[in-house]
Amino acid sequence: MAKLKTKYVCMECGCESPKWMGKCPECNQWNTLVEEVDTKTAPASAPSLSNLSKPERMQDISIEEEMRLSTGLGELDRVLGGGIVKGSLILVGGDPGIGKSTLLLQLSDNIGKKGLKVLYVSGEESVKQIKIRAHRMSADSANIYLQSENNMDYIQRTIEDVNPDVLIIDSIQTVYNSSILSAPGSVSQVRDATGNLMRIAKGQGIAVFIVGHVTKAGSIAGPRVLEHMVDTVLYFEGDSHMSYRILRAVKNRFGSTNEIGIFEMADRGLAEVLNPSQMLLSGRMKGVSGSSVIASLEGTRPMLVEVQALLSYTSFGVPRRTATGADYNRVVLLMAVLEKRVGLQLQNYDSYVNVVGGIKLNEPSSDLGIIAAIASSYRDKEIDDGTVIIGEVGLAGEVRAVNFIEKRINEAAKLGFTKCVIPYNNYKNLKDDPKIKIYGVKSVEEALNIII
């Protein structure tokens, strides 16, 4: 028997090497090379030219508006760009226990009740286990077909027999091809399985959902080419110990990548959160220093978020800086602006900044709100409960304009806020008459004189 040859393949970029190396020579990632069996095959014969596709002029190609299939979950439809596109390949990733399988089972039930067939293939659970979970969630559609299978050949045969409208694979790391000697979840197996599912989705017009495991770093396990092959990549975020979940699109060929959907984990599955601002501000204490409300924007959706800051006198020579939900380096930069431009002596205080609700602030419009919360805690003076703060802060202490200011102001007015502090450049360009009192500020010092 001939001796099997092995090679080492990078789990991040798919680079192959004849020997193991600690650092991948292509993507420069450490400890990503794994050993696989090298299965070299004979060179394939030249393809027949009879099936060669001919190029067409763009002006001669007729298109029709793509009809989207609603999932029955408005938050999921928002993230997908309006619904499921026929023949699309969608990858859903997230931490274990975050709710990926629960979301897809609810989606299956909603689509099945519309008279469409759904094939749910699980490589991790038996059909009885899925049935128990479906019974708890009251998912009782007669058009859901369950299968517990890992072999890709058998899955393809089942697809031909059932001819579903939607196919769900849970998860892609458990599917294998018997002709490939590598273990399930390896680079070769994941790449081959995803390639077969892509051909099924495009050739037969079946919408395919793939569940992907994530690594400790939070990225989807397997080669990075997996994310390049699919049409849409959805990440399910949130703490498994908390009830709220955030669904975010990081890639979407059929819609925006800035939209998010918010769900709450309940006894009967995931429930949509239609008003996230009200949810995020529901437990806010009034009359307490170090708390401010900012208007953040996720895609086209404005959200009001509470930012908390706590400053305490340090017992050591070097003060401690901690930021949760906000960029640490950004918080340190803003504290330096407060020291230099406003004159607050923060070098002897430990500072703790927290964004309530597990939300991560990435846009710079939250700068002025973070500064206001820190200054409020330092001076031990509370900010008026009806005030919303919006603005980006520069190193010179100036307050710069932000985008979509009207949406942010309208969201604040809808929730009963009475005062809004915004950049002066936004203030002078307002077109509509706002329903709340607006203050336009040019500098951080001017804003703090109004807020505190």
Give me 249's structure tokens.
Answer: 């699109």
Does 95 count as an annotated binding residue?
A: yes
Determine the pLDDT at residue 131. 94
Burial of 54 from C-beta contacts in 10 A (0-12 / 13-18 / 19+): exposed
Residue 368's φ and ψ, nearest 5 degrees, are: -65, -35
Determine the pLDDT at residue 301. 83
What pLDDT tens digit does each residue of the chain (452 aa) get?
A: 456 677 888 877 778 888 888 888 888 888 888 887 766 544 555 556 666 668 888 888 877 666 789 999 999 999 998 899 999 999 998 888 888 999 999 999 999 999 999 999 999 899 999 999 999 998 989 999 999 999 999 999 999 999 999 999 998 989 998 888 777 877 788 888 999 999 999 999 999 999 987 765 555 555 566 788 899 999 888 766 667 888 988 899 988 887 888 898 888 889 998 888 888 888 888 889 999 999 998 877 889 999 999 999 998 888 999 999 999 999 999 999 999 999 999 999 999 999 988 788 888 999 999 999 999 999 999 999 999 999 999 999 999 999 999 999 999 998 999 999 999 999 998 887 778 999 999 999 999 999 98
Does 98 count as an annotated binding residue?
A: yes
Determine the pLDDT at residue 285. 86
Give me 363's structure tokens.
Answer: 């846009």
Q: CA-CA distances (angstroms) from residue 163 to 95, 144, 160, 206, 241?
A: 31, 12, 5, 9, 39
Residue pair 290/355 in contact by the 8 Å Cβ criterion: no
Does 436 count as an annotated binding residue?
A: no
Q: What pTM was computed for the model? A: 0.76
Does 101 count as an annotated binding residue?
A: yes
Does 416 count as an annotated binding residue?
A: no
Does 94 count as an annotated binding residue?
A: yes
How far apart CA 33 and CA 12 sit, in angstroms, is 9
Strands (E), 268-365: 269-272, 291-298, 301-313, 321-324, 349-355
Paired sense of beta strands 387-389 and 232-237, if any: unpaired
Strands (E), 106-164: 118-122, 144-148
Determine the pLDDT at residue 42. 43
Determine the pLDDT at residue 173. 87
